[in-house]
């Protein structure tokens, strides 16, 4: 069975501080992994993805995630957050055309 676990439902952080949003997955086969961001009252937008190749993937706005097969993790990190990063973040996996999402982590960036 496939599943995605996001350990933190909320992460408060001050502006310009680093942040890590944790994601662990469970799957018996190879998967594709994704991070999506949802701003208030909007749909989801793809932030970054791991399909194959380099285990470190980056987004255009400074986020990065590292695929760790041995720890079955795909944690999202940013070295310095901005107020505009306040949103809910979802980790997801794709396996045989089905998608499984985590329960989400609300990132609250404080001034």
Residues that bind other proteins (CB under 8 A): 4, 6, 9, 32, 34, 42-46, 49, 51, 90, 92, 94, 97-104
Structure tokens at 10: 């909320």
The span from the CA of 14 to the CA of 6, in Å, is 21
Least spacing, CB of residue 57 vs other proteins, in Å = 12
Least spacing, CB of residue 43 vs other proteins, in Å = 4
Least spacing, CB of residue 46 vs other proteins, in Å = 5
H/E stretch holding 99 reads strand 98-101
- Residue 77 burial (C-beta neighbours within 10 Å; 0-12, 13-18, 19+): middle
**Of 4 and 81, CB closest to other proteins:** 4
């Amino acid at each position: 069975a496939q599943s995605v676990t996001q350990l933190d439902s909320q992460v408060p952080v001050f502006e310009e501080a680093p942040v890590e949003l944790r994601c662990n997955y469970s799957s018996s086969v190879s998967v594709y992994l994704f991070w999506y961001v949802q701003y208030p009252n909007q749909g989801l937008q793809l932030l970054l993805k791991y399909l194959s190749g380099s285990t470190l993937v980056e987004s255009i706005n400074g986020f990065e995630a590292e695929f760790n097969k041995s720890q079955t993790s795909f944690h999202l990190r940013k070295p310095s957050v901005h107020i505009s990063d306040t949103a809910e973040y979802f980790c997801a996996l794709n396996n045989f055309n089905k998608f499984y999402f985590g329960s989400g982590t609300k990132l609250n960036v404080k001034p």
